Structure 1
Amino acid sequence: MTEKPKTQLLGRSVEAPASPEEAVLDCVPNPQPGIDYCVRFTCPEFTCLCPVTGQPDFAHLVIDYLPAQLLVESKALKLYLGSYRNHGGFHEGTTVEIARRIVEAAGCKWLRIGGYWYPRGGIPIDVFYQTGPAPEGLWLPDQGVAPYRGRG
């Protein structure tokens, strides 16, 4: 019989974390650790706050990663991303912070994130980060988010 993963969140009723620092990013064992494959998380309704004005900022995040021994548990990721709702952060810092936290928690072999931020002040900001070159032979689909065109 397979042992159940020991997580703090999965299968439990939990309160939403008040901040990214308080959020737990649980991981579970990778059932295919000897195979390279891409895992994608898409968060089309990510929100945080502008650290200067307190106004809401919205983004469509696409996170692709190559797991090693662990997988990011999706409930934990959802709660972690939701913890940014009342958190102030610039687009660039927030996008990279999310990526680095996932790499730290899961020990990914490789990760990339696309942060497609909706315009504020008429300027959309897209932020891209990856831990290094994509591993050779790993199939990576396009992130599928069209560049912002406004009414054009």
Structure 2
Amino acid sequence: MSDNRYDNLEMLGGEGKAAASPEDAPLERVENPATADYVIRFTCPEFTSICPVTGQPDFAHLVIDYAPEKWIVESKSLKLYLTSFRNHGAFHEACTMMIAQRLIDELSPKWLRIGGYWYPRGGIPIDIFFQTGEVPEGLWLPDQGVAPYRGRG
């Protein structure tokens, strides 16, 4: 029996091909199944994008935490959205903030935080952190768990 709440999902159970660019990547959402406040965490330890100047690959460990309001992101569409950055040329700061803004625009979460822990090129790691405001009262929020750079291992 089909649950019509999920009829709008095209990616889940579909082919799973990444879009050519983040701008072209669909990001699907479903209704938040809970009324209590809670945090959802996505960890992407193998995020890649392209340096817009050199064309060389850049690598990051992303941690996305958010407290949903009405919507939650469908995880397969998020994975494919993140994969679409593999051929996207942008600096670390732009990639990290583009992801945060897209999630804010699509989900209107109560709160969102992203940590972009970028692996070094030229000997300097660049870490990008953003959150939308104070953590909602009463939420348990664990540390993002990414060590300061020492090989990120």
- Specify every segment of 5 or more residues in structure 1 that has no aligned partner in the other structure, as ranges: none
Normalised to the residue count of structure 2, the TM-score between the two structures is 0.94
Q: What is the CA-CA distance between 1:137 and the residue it aligns to?
A: 1.1
* Deviations 1:111-132, CA, capped at 9 Å, x for gaps: 0000000000000000000011
Match of 1:119 in 2: 120
Q: Partner letter of residue 82 of structure 1? A: T
Match of 2:14 in 1: 12
| Aligned residues of 2:16 and 2:80 also touching (Cα < 8 A) | no
Q: What is the CA-CA distance between 1:148 and the residue it aligns to?
A: 0.2
Identity of aligned residues (%): 66
CA RMSD of aligned residues (A): 1.5
* Deviations 1:5-60, CA, capped at 9 Å, x for gaps: 1112112214320000000000011110x210000000000000000000000000
* Deviations 1:33-89, CA, capped at 9 Å, x for gaps: x21000000000000000000000000000000001111000000000000000001
Match of 2:110 in 1: 109
Q: Partner letter of residue 91 of structure 1? A: H
Q: Partner letter of residue 16 of structure 1? A: A
Q: Partner letter of residue 30 of structure 2? A: V
What is the rounded CA distance, in whole Å, between the counterparts of 1:125 and 1:16 in structure 2? Answer: 26
| Aligned residues of 2:63 and 2:114 also touching (Cα < 8 A) | yes
Bigger fraction of residues in helix:
2
What is the rounded CA distance, in whole Å, between the counterparts of 2:70 and 2:15 in structure 1? Answer: 26
- Equivalent of 1:27, from 24, 29, 41? 29
Aligned positions, number: 150
SS at match of 1:85: helix
What is the rounded CA distance, in whole Å, between the counterparts of 1:60 and 1:116 in structure 2? Answer: 5
Match of 2:59 in 1: 58
Q: Partner letter of residue 99 of structure 1? A: A
